[in-house]
Copies of this chain bind each other. A is one copy, B any other.
Amino acid sequence: MRDFSTDHSALALNTASLGHNLDGHGAGWSPERVIDACAARGFGSVVFWRREIGSRAVEIGERARATGLSVAGLCRTPFLVGTDAVDEAAVLDEAKASIDMAAGLGAAVLTIVVGGVHPDTKGTTESLKIVTDRVAALAPYAAERNVKLALEPLNPVYAGNRSCLTTVRDAVDICEAVDAPNLGVAVDVYHVWWDSGLDAQLQRAGKDRIFGYHLCDWLADTRDVLLDRGMMGDGVADLRAIRAGVEGAGYAGPCEVEIFSANNWWKRDPGEVLDVMIERFHSLC
C-alpha cells in the first residue's frame, strides 16, 4: 500500500465536498477559486460536476493544469435508466454531451450513475440489461474522445430511483459484457463499505478496470442517506482495509474525497474543510 502519512499528491477534491454543486449549499466558490485553493495546498487533482462547467470546459481544464493540478474526473452522465430515462435517444444524446464536456475539460474519467428501476419493470435485472446496452452504445463514442467511463455502484438504499447498480460485482459483470477497454468501475467507500464480497470483486476487476477510488465515511447513525456523509474517520467504514483491497487489485490512481454533508461540512469555511481533509488523509486513509 502507498504511504500517505506525509504525502497527499494522490489526494483529489471532488467539488461536491464543498457543497457548491447544489443550489444554496456551501460557499459558492467558483471553479477557479477551488482550483487555486487545492493547488495551494498540494492536492494532486480535482473532480468537477457538469453544472459547474457549463460552456467553459476547455478554459477550466487548462486553468487547473496551469496550477499543476490534473482533472481526475467529471461527474457525471445522466441516469441511463429509470423514470427519467425512458426516452433512449434523449438519454444517449445527453450522455454524449457529458462525454464531450469531459473531453473538453481533459478529465481522465467520466462517472456513470446508472439510474433506478425502469418503469413497468420490477427488480433490478431488466434495468441492468438496459444499462448494459446503453453503456455499450456510448463506450466507442467516449473512446474516440479519450474519455474513460467509470460505472459507480451505489449503496443498495438507492436501488429504486438512483442506481439499480449496487455492487462492484454487478459493475464488473457489465464491464465483461460490454468488453470495452475504456469502461471500468469507480469504487466509493460510502457505497461499498458494508460488502464482505468486495475484495474478491476488486481482484476480479483488476487494475485495468478500477478507474476511481472515492473517500468519505459512513456515519453509524446517519440522518440522511443523501446529504449526511461523514469525513474520513468520523464513521464506521474500514478505510485502510478498503484501500488495501483497491491497491491490492492494482489501483494506483487518485483518492477522491466526495462528501455530501448539508448540515456539517457544507456549512464550514471551504478552506477549513480542505485542511481537515488533508490531515485526515495523512493520518487515517
Residues of A with Cβ closer than 8 Å to B? Answer: 83, 116-117, 122-125, 128, 155-157, 159-161, 164, 166-167, 169-170, 173, 193-197, 218-222, 225, 235-242
Inter-subunit contact A123/B238 (CB<8 Å)? yes
Given A196-B125, A237-B122, A241-B123, decide whether A220 and B169 contact each other with a Cβ distance below 8 A.
no
Bound-complex Cα distance A28 to B125 (A): 40
Nearest B residue to A219 via CB reads B160
Which of A160, A194, A195 counts the most chain B CB atoms within 10 A? A194
Inter-subunit contact B156/A195 (CB<8 Å)? yes
Inter-subunit contact A160/B241 (CB<8 Å)? no
Inter-subunit contact A218/B155 (CB<8 Å)? no
Identify A123's interface contact among B128, B167, B219, B237, CB under 8 A.
Answer: B237
Identify A166's interface contact among B128, B160, B194, B241, CB under 8 A.
Answer: B194
Inter-subunit contact A196/B218 (CB<8 Å)? no
Identify A220's interface contact among B125, B161, B220, B221, CB under 8 A.
Answer: B161
Identify A159's interface contact among B116, B169, B194, B239, CB under 8 A.
Answer: B194
Bound-complex Cα distance A242 to B123 (A): 9
Question: Shortest CB–CB separation between residue A271 and chain B, in angstroms?
Answer: 28
